[in-house]
Amino acid sequence: MLPRRATVSMIYNGANATEQVAGYINSFEYTDVASGKSDSIRAVMNDRDNRWKGPWFPVKGDKLVPTIVLYNWTAPGQVIHFPCGTFGVDDFSFSGGPDKMNLDAIALPASTSFKSEDRTETYEQATLQEIGQKVAGRAGIALFFDASDVAIEKVEQNNQNDCDFYSGLVEKYGLSLKIYNDRLVVFSEADYEARGPKFILTPADFDPGWTWDTTLTGIYTGVRYQYTNSDKNKTFTVKAGTEERLLTNNEPADNLTEATAIALAAVNNANRGTTTMSLTMMARPGLIASDTIEIAGLERLSGKYYVEQVTHSIGSGYKMSLNLRKVEPRISSPTAISSTVSEGG
């Protein structure tokens, strides 16, 4: 049987540098996160002939497009390409004995204003998708919006950079945000959790050293929301779930629909990640952060899990390290909602 083999092809500043780079890669690591952080890569490069210190000396912001290439991984003669996305060089360092370079890159737009330029702007009668299109346009990338849109009467970006402002806004309405391959991606974790598992894994698939943890801290059975909008002279009240352990919330809202979305997002975000698992295994082609998998054969630890992060490590072999959280039932329907005129109105 032909041996399994994993390599990395590389586009560097628009040019195919696979042949030049392949012989220098000691190890390659790609970290794929579902949301909340930037994807990243790290390559450890052999520099025995001083090319990286000399003519190939990197520049911060250099654009890398790596692809993991697998040979004979699941069948003889099979070739699988797994694109990692587009990255900008963020940091690099050299060390000796033997000489090598550590090259780090992250998935961020080429426009540094996305994270570095604070803005003050008011958005009125807009949707979450329309605001995202403005933010993505300023960053010079496209928006991929894979969720139900949200109507927003008014929201202010107050001395915030676009990254912090829009990621906070997306989370406020129960959605998630990441940057992948020069695209700003907005998606619904609830919808992705509902998908069927991509793989079923058992302890026979795990390397030694897996862990599982659960905590009661932060588990809420319901939410009580109340906010008085002084401009409209109305008080919005939303209750959802049961009252054994209630989360209280009073984030600003302009209408009852918005208040309901905020309340449900707050309690489900608070309950996220109360049961987690970490494991390392031989790589499974096609598994990405935001997929779900089924863990079987572990009695009460078994169940459906959402993939928060996948770290691909290529060196002497090809391994995946997974950070998982158990998919818990979501609080999805309010038990009571009201919009009342405030006293004095």
Distance of CA 210 to the CA centre of its chain: 22
pLDDT of residue 73: 93
pLDDT by residue (tens digit) across 179-219?
Answer: 998 899 999 999 999 999 999 999 999 999 999 999 876 68
Count Cβ atoms within 10 A of the Cβ of residue 29 and give its class: 0-12 exposed, 13-18 middle, 19 or more buried. Answer: middle
pTM for the model: 0.93
pLDDT over 70, % of the chain = 98
pLDDT over 90, % of the chain = 85
Fold that domain 113-187 belongs to in CATH:
Phage tail protein beta-alpha-beta fold (3.55.50)
For the cut 60, the answer to whether the pLDDT of residue 345 exceeds it is no
75 vs 8, 80, 131, CA distance in Å? 19, 10, 46
Fold that domain 5-106 belongs to in CATH:
Phage tail proteins - horseshoe like beta roll fold (2.30.300)
Gap between the Cα atoms of 94 and 96, Å rounded: 7
pLDDT by residue (tens digit) across 62-114?
Answer: 999 999 999 999 899 999 999 999 999 999 999 998 999 999 999 988 777 88
pLDDT by residue (tens digit) across 303-313?
Answer: 999 999 999 99
Question: What are the residue ranges spanned by the domains of the chain?
Answer: 5-106, 113-187, 199-341
145 vs 47, 98, 133, CA distance in Å? 42, 47, 9
For the cut 80, the answer to whether the pLDDT of residue 330 exceeds it is yes
